[in-house]
A and B are shown apart, each in its own frame.
Chain A
Amino acid sequence: MLVSTSCERDSVIDVEQGVVTPVMTAYFYEDSSVVVNAYSSVSFYSSTNYQALTNAIVTIDKNNKFTQMVAADSGAIRMTFNGLRINTGDTITVNVSCDEGNLSATTVMLPAVDFTVTNTLNDSVVDCVVRIMDSNIATDYFQLKLFADDELVDCYYYDDIFESVFATSEQLLGLFTDNDFNSRVRYVRFAFNLKDALRADGTNATLRLRLYHHTYDYYQYLLSIQGAFASTVLPVLGQTNCYTNVTGGYGIVSGLSFSEKILEIEN
């Protein structure tokens, strides 16, 4: 009844242009080139989602030593650092200086965590059990993802260790921490439909199971996406903030490490 008598209309409030705030995102993979995106926030009345910074200079320090600097050309948002390789254990600091302000973020390249996986085919469902050995007492943040020929597979993460089985955001699926198995072995279970492992022509797709070892910052960022998602569905919930580890602005900078196994379905 309430839905039937509610309504919306355009508001007459004239919202002033907000302060332009710089934003930065950067993801580091081991032994891969580095890409940094730097841009600014835009007005709600803007027709574009990304606005280039003015006179931006991006610097990357690895292990507290100056490594590389790139000056963004006018209009450039994405900057590639060729010849820069990141290794496990490296601490990376990214700085951006521009007319809109100065940004800085630091992250670390965590080691990949090894695992083993077994699976059982029950009719049309593949039940998987992943064995993980946690080797330290610090809190670690993980995510399990299954890819079939580079396409993300819709898995059923029914183990109670997972952050939220009912996440509306795909990014939240398969997330968990080691809070209940620090320095021990844990078996993590999930399942998927066999049909998702087949290509359109009926042949078997290559199944890659990845165990991501996320930084705390990237984990919190993924959790905050869930809130943003919810508010688009129910505006009354209000906007929740995106987690950021960038000082001077917004965005997320993180190393992304993972270990991978090829999943062979038995029979």
Chain B
Amino acid sequence: MLNDITYGDLFLRRVMRLFFLLLLSLVPREAEAQNNLLDTQIDLGERYEGSSKTLIDKVGAATGVTISYSNKVYVHQHVALSFRSGTLREFLDAIFSRFAVEYIIRDKKVIVSAMATRNSRLSGYCRDALTGEVLIGANVYDTLLMAGCATNGYGFFSVSLPHGRATLRASFVGYTPELRDVDLNSDTIIDIRLHPSILMKDINVVNSHSDADRAQMDFVDIPIEQVKAMPTLLGEADIIRTYQKTPGVQSGEEGFGGLSVRGGDADQNIYLLDDVPLYSATHLMGMFSVFNTEAVNSAQLYKGAFPARYGGRMSSVFDVKLREGDMQKFDGYANLGLLASTIMFEGPIVKDKVSFITSARRTYFDVYSSQMQRNNDNRYSFFFYDISAKLNYRVSPRDRLYVSFFVGKDELKNEYNFQNQIVTYGEKSSRTVANNDEQNVNWNNLVAAIRWNHLFGNSLFANVTAAYTHYRFNYNIENFKTLSNSIYENNQKYYNGITDVEAKADFNWYPNKLPGIIRFGVSGMSHLFFPGLTISTSIVDGEELANSAPDEEETEQEATAKNRLSRYEFHSYLEDDFRINKFSFNVGVHLSMLARQNQSHYLSVEPRAALSYDILPQWRVQLGYSHASQFVQQLRLISVASPADMWLPVSSQNPPPRARQWSLQSTIDLGSYYSFTTELYYKDYIRKQTFKTMPTSLILSQNEWDDIFCSGSGVSKGLELFMHRKAQRLSGWIGYSFSHSYCSYNEINNGKRFDADNDCRHSVSIYGCYKISDRFDVSATWSYHSGAPVTIPDSRYTIKDADNDEYTFYIDGKRNAYRMSASHSLNIGANYKRQFSNTHHTLSFGVYNVYGRKNPMFTYWKANENGSYNLREFSLIAFPWPYVKYAIRF
């Protein structure tokens, strides 16, 4: 009933309709208004280039809009716009281009919010562009996000980055840094090639540490090229001698005495050659190292707070990696020096697939001496050699296989003939004898290893190794005596040594959802110790003499088997490298176990931690703690370290020693080329082992050595200062250390504390190398060490035995109560280089011990003919030693 609807109702409905229409019209206008905010036109008047922060302020001021964002989506960066005007959205996209963001509008505020991002993993290898050699410790990082890592021991890196374009910067000392843009939308494997720098101007090669290694402290890494440039004894570039010139690292005089790191003993250092332990790292009792610098890729020394992946020793880890060989072309190198010659060949077997490298070095003292002693009845000769070889096979982009081999030997021979006669017997060759003694002392190392690298997915790098290492010391005496027509031949053979077989697996995991690197691994090692065995045989006229019970006579193999000791050593570790804001961490734990047949086992849990804090980008403070123990030790048989020193396991009477070290380090990068490091450390030992007294016989059987050890405690503490300049033209360092090492044993020195054998109170080393031109460089080193502690006999007594023969014996005074004279020396050298077609020639010359400093090696009481005694100091290299060496690279 239409008449029932009043005009009032109609009006009301119209008003309501209009109201809703009005509301509806407002809604799209509101959204449109928000979109219009982002579409606001901005004209800066000129193209902007500058800080992103300033640009945000400008844009906000131009639009009257407040722009809010979190650190998750912002990185302070330099921005160079290609446009001067555009919408607000275009300006915001340019500032936040690296992130997946969305813009939320609230009134006059724009909130930049992160969208759920996707990351992918960028992995690969960093190599030398010319040779294909991997670069260990190269930095690879995203320049915008400052996220990256250092390449591992096989040149591998892996970093997780958000999708989009990443600008990578790869750098390594001695190489031109490379920038590369990578569009990352999925897991990607790339190969980065760096070119060696040939520019003569100083290049900024700052210690730009990436995330993974900022926490690492007590770590010394000297480039191999710097090692080769340093003037050394007889011109032989020597890695160990170079590191001895850094704070906290000493040796005995001219290398005798082994390496001492922060007061530790020589057997507390582990030398790893491509991850395989090497038991004797020197030739000629410490004067030269076994590492041929032409075959070495890198050598790094951890002086204390070494990360959890290392174990087995308490003082230091010397990690040497051999080169892999040029994958592109054949190269060769040869040098001729006063002491030794070296040759090296490398090249591809299959280009970019399989390469090899082999090197050899030999001295020729024996050649000189045989000529000089031609007419002597008493003749000495000495030589050493080492040979290394490595095969590198890139099976696939994810698999690599390495086979490496090393052998080194030293031999000292003495022949003594008198009353020469020609005698033949049986079918054996004639021999010039009447009385002929031949003594032969030799020691040798052998290492063989096979390694497989595999990349699981893109974030798990594995290295599996099987290795064999072997050290022997041999002392052989042959005596031929002709009595009437019979030839009596006596042979005595003594040897000691150690043989290891090892299998290990190491993993580097770069997790996508966690920052940093997680490392873990396991290893098992079988030790066979040969503590000292003497085998004697007597031969008359070519027939071996039998005693009354020949069937009970032991063969040499049986005697060897009876006298050897076997032990099994197991290690595992877990280590995490990560960064949170300005803090970097390296934390982990290393587990070691020694298993013995039918005896109790030893287990050691060794926590390790290092923390780094960036006070400023150029100033980093680090704190470290390490706990380490070892299950093998070396028994020193004479007053200085010698190759005859026996490797022995710890026993039930002498449980494993343990060391703990705390370190505090500050590193400042001064300008572009300098770094200045200050470090304090404190190290304590328990169950540190040594002799109660020196053994009464130079040759001990396995039944005797265990009784002469005793255990005690020790402390080593010090301050190290190190200023290092790494640059192309002028490089070098100045180092100083102040340290004090002492120990105490109940059985020694009446239980009173005494300075440790390796205590060196003050040590200074200065090294400089200046490249005058691309053909000529000069270098010099000067080092100083406080006098070494020495125990000097302070009284003597004489015994007349039953046959009325008199012998004088000495009584030791207080242990290490005296100091020998301080040691210092100056060495200078120069290299002159020329290139002719494809060959590079280098002439090196210099002087070792320029001012003829008579540095003492040991002291002793000398008995004079009139019965009096004088205390004497013996110096080994008391005069300047010039050297000259010629090398050719082709």
Q: Which residues of A contact B (CB under 8 A)?
A: 1-2, 5-13, 15-21, 23, 25, 27, 37, 39-45, 47, 49-50, 122-125, 152, 156, 158-161, 164-166, 170-171, 180-181, 184-187, 189, 191, 193, 218, 220-221, 223-230, 232, 235-243, 250-252, 256
Contact = CB atoms under 8 A, between A and B. Distances in A.
B750 to A, nearest CB: 11
A242 B860 CA distance: 17
B789 to A, nearest CB: 12
7 shortest interchain CB distances as A-B pairs: A238-B639, A18-B794, A123-B484, A18-B795, A235-B860, A125-B483, A160-B536
B97 interface: no
Given A171-B801, A241-B693, A166 B810 contact: no
Contacts of B23: none
B795 A27 contact: no
Nearest to B813: A18
Nearest to B482: A125
B627 to A, nearest CB: 34
B346 interface: no
B492 A166 contact: yes
Contacts, number: 233
Nearest to B485: A123
Contact of B878 (A5, A13, A229, A243): A5
Contacts of A45: 868-869
Given A6-B874, A44-B869, A230-B698, A237 B639 contact: yes
Given A42-B796, A251-B799, 16 more contacts: A11-B856, A15-B818, A17-B795, A43-B795, A152-B803, A166-B437, A171-B803, A180-B547, A187-B548, A225-B801, A227-B697, A228-B807, A235-B858, A235-B860, A236-B638, A239-B810
Nearest to B806: A49
B547 A186 contact: yes
A10 B870 CA distance: 7
A50 B808 CA distance: 11
**How many B residues are at the interface, by size bracket?**
35 or more
Contacts of B638: 236-238
B535 to A, nearest CB: 9
Contact of B813 (A1, A16, A159, A240): A16
B536 A21 contact: no
A158 B859 contact: no
Contact of B872 (A10, A18, A43, A125): A10
A125 B487 CA distance: 11
Contact of B797 (A16, A42, A125, A166): A42
A191 B863 contact: no
Contact of B694 (A10, A11, A241): A241
Contacts of A18: 793-795, 811, 813
Contacts of A166: 437, 477, 479, 490, 492
Contacts of B877: 2, 5-6
Contacts of B536: 160, 165
Contact of B795 (A20, A236, A256): A20
A41 B795 contact: yes
Nearest to B810: A239
B795 A50 contact: no
B641 to A, nearest CB: 11
B799 A242 contact: yes
Nearest to A4: B879
Nearest to A159: B538
A154 to B, nearest CB: 11
A227 B698 contact: yes
B878 A7 contact: yes
B867 A160 contact: no
Given A5-B881, A223-B697, A15 B792 contact: yes
B537 interface: yes
B794 A8 contact: no
B798 interface: yes
Given A6-B876, A124-B484, A184-B548, A239 B802 contact: no
16 contacts: A6-B875, A11-B821, A11-B856, A13-B818, A16-B794, A39-B797, A41-B797, A160-B547, A165-B492, A166-B492, A185-B548, A232-B863, A235-B860, A240-B695, A240-B697, A242-B696
B854 interface: yes
A240 B696 contact: yes
A125 B484 CA distance: 6
B479 A161 contact: no
A189 to B, nearest CB: 7
B809 interface: yes
A44 B871 contact: yes
B340 interface: no
B545 A236 contact: no
A44 B872 contact: no
B376 interface: no
A184 B857 CA distance: 51
A224 B696 contact: yes
B473 to A, nearest CB: 15
B794 A44 contact: yes
A39 to B, nearest CB: 8
Contact of B799 (A235, A238, A252): A252
A251 to B, nearest CB: 6
Nearest to A20: B795
A168 B803 CA distance: 16
A212 B484 CA distance: 29
A8 B812 contact: no
Interface string B135-176: 000000000000000000000000000000000000000000
A251 B811 CA distance: 12
A156 B479 CA distance: 11
Given A15-B794, A17-B794, A42-B796, A10 B873 contact: yes
B854 to A, nearest CB: 6
A123 B485 CA distance: 8
A79 B507 CA distance: 77
B201 interface: no
B813 to A, nearest CB: 5
Contact of A49 (B802, B859, B867): B867
Interface string B708-729: 0000000000000000000000
A225 B875 CA distance: 27
A156 B483 contact: yes
Interface string B432-474: 0000010000000000000000000000000000000000000
A240 B874 contact: no
Contacts of A21: 795, 797, 811
A189 B545 contact: yes
B381 to A, nearest CB: 12
Nearest to A232: B863
A42 B191 CA distance: 75
B861 interface: yes
Nearest to A212: B802
A227 B696 contact: yes
Contacts of B639: 236-238
B98 interface: no
A44 B879 contact: no
B540 interface: yes
Contacts of A235: 858, 860, 862, 874
